[in-house]
């Protein structure tokens, strides 16, 4: 009987292990040399983050942070197309429709992870090769080093789906030079390759095919300090000549961006764009007119307030906003129009900026008492 019991335990243990590897294959967590390596491994979903991935990465970062044998943390994505295209929006939408608490758990988990990265004592290197949007920005931009390549595509496209540029967007976007963060947040403008470095999202630029060699060299560093890691990244960065001569894509528009997007209200930004009348301004107006009016108002205020807040205060504020969006109309409608039916014609409610009252916006920012995000 004992042997049968033992055999049963072995089988159960094996099943438990295989179940673990099934869920853990979405994210690989391994230690190589002095480096902890996080590999986002959902290539078919463009490495979008789901709750189980977040729940595996967070404790691992905390463990590595305390481990005297871990000197740096590297995060990357598989599949060659994306670093991480965002959060698992579909799952959140389904949950929200049936009142499942994933709509809270996901954002709590994600923002705690963003904070863990932002406060990490070990050097954190994100290899943002390919599409890096939304949640993918959240697991990279708050770390010490972000290495872009010619394949990097950066965007915070949330206003198009009735959300707002979260994951700490209220912290890093208003801190970019001039009003470019406001422009990126409201229009969802995409930046590619070297432009991601020029705007201040990436810290280094390296050829995509050189990343495996860079990773190897990072792993081989003996008890590296932040300075040693920076030196290594700089040496790769200096050798990369791709698009070196190319001017920043928004260079010629920076003056306009800084003046047009410095207005205090969305209505005023729209008015300024109309008055300007240039092809650039008209194009931005057309883009903004497609976005959720509610999202635009929440986003502008989020960035204006976030400009003088700590990352922790911003994440707390963004959690409040996330829960307001989960209770609203536009997020579900935006996801339907952009990701599910793909008809690209969302019916926003309210449909015009003028109809989104200050009182409504104020309410979205109100503390949630015992339900506020705890970091």
Crossing angle of helices 102-118 and 51-66, rounded to 10°: 30
Active site residue 277: no
Contact 147, 128 (CB under 8 A): yes
Q: 298, 54, 50: which is closest to 163 by C-alpha?
A: 298
Hey, which bits of 152-258 come out as E strands?
A: 153-155, 191-192, 204-205
CA distance 281 to 222: 52
Ramachandran sector of residue 296 (left: φ over 0; alpha: ψ -120 to 50; beta: rest): alpha
Catalytic residue (one of 135, 138, 181, 193): 135
How far CA 8 is from CA of 3, 14, 17, in Å, comes to: 8, 10, 14
Catalytic residue (one of 129, 166, 195, 330): 166
Active site residue 80: no
Q: SS3 of 141, please?
A: coil
Catalytic residue (one of 110, 158, 318, 330): 158
Catalytic residue (one of 36, 87, 130, 181): 87
Active site residue 166: yes
Active site residue 87: yes
CA distance 230 to 263: 38
Q: SS3 of 72, please?
A: strand
Q: Which distant-in-sequence residues (6+ apart) come within 8 Å of 227 by Cβ? A: none
What is the SS3 assignment for 334-346?
Answer: HHHHHHHCCCCCC
Sheet strands side by side (includes 124-128): 27-32, 35-40, 72-77, 124-128, 145-148, 204-205
Helices (H), 307-357: 311-327, 330-335
By annotation, the residues acting in catalysis are 87, 135, 158, 166
């Amino acid at each position: 009987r004992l042997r049968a019991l033992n055999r049963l335990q072995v089988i159960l243990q094996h099943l438990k292990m295989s179940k673990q590897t099934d869920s853990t294959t979405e994210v690989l967590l391994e230690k190589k040399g002095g480096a902890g390596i996080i590999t986002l491994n959902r290539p078919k979903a463009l490495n979008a983050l789901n709750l189980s991935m977040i729940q595996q990465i967070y404790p691992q970062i905390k463990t590595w942070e305390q481990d005297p044998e871990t000197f740096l943390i590297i995060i990357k994505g598989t599949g060659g197309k994306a670093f991480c295209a965002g959060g698992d929006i579909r799952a959140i939408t389904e949950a929200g429709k049936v009142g499942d608490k994933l709509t809270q758990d996901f954002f709590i988990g994600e923002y705690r992870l963003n904070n863990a990265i932002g406060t990490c004592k070990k050097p954190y290197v994100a290899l943002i090769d390919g599409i890096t949007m939304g949640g993918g920005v959240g697991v990279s931009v708050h770390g010490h080093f972000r290495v872009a390549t010619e394949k990097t595509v950066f965007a915070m496209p949330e206003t198009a789906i009735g959300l707002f540029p979260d994951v700490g967007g209220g912290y890093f976007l208003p801190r970019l030079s001039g009003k470019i963060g406001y422009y990126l947040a409201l229009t969802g403008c995409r930046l590619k390759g070297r432009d991601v470095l020029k705007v201040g999202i990436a810290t280094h630029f390296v050829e995509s095919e050189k990343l495996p060699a860079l990773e190897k060299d990072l792993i081989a560093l003996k008890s590296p300090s932040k300075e040693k890691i920076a030196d290594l990244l700089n040496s790769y960065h200096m050798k990369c000549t791709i698009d070196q001569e190319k001017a920043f894509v928004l260079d010629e528009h920076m003056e306009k961006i800084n003046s047009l997007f410095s207005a205090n209200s969305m209505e005023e930004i729209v008015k300024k764009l109309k008055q300007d009348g240039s092809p650039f301004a008209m194009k931005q107006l057309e883009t903004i007119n497609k976005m959720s009016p509610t999202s635009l108002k929440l986003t502008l205020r989020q960035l204006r307030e976030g400009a003088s807040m700590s990352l922790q205060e911003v994440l707390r504020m963004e959690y409040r906003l996330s829960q307001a969006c989960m209770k609203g109309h536009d997020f579900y409608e935006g996801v339907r129009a952009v990701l599910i039916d793909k008809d690209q014609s969302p019916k926003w409610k309210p449909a015009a900026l003028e109809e989104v009252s200050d009182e409504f916006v104020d309410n979205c920012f109100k503390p949630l008492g015992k339900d506020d995000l705890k970091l």
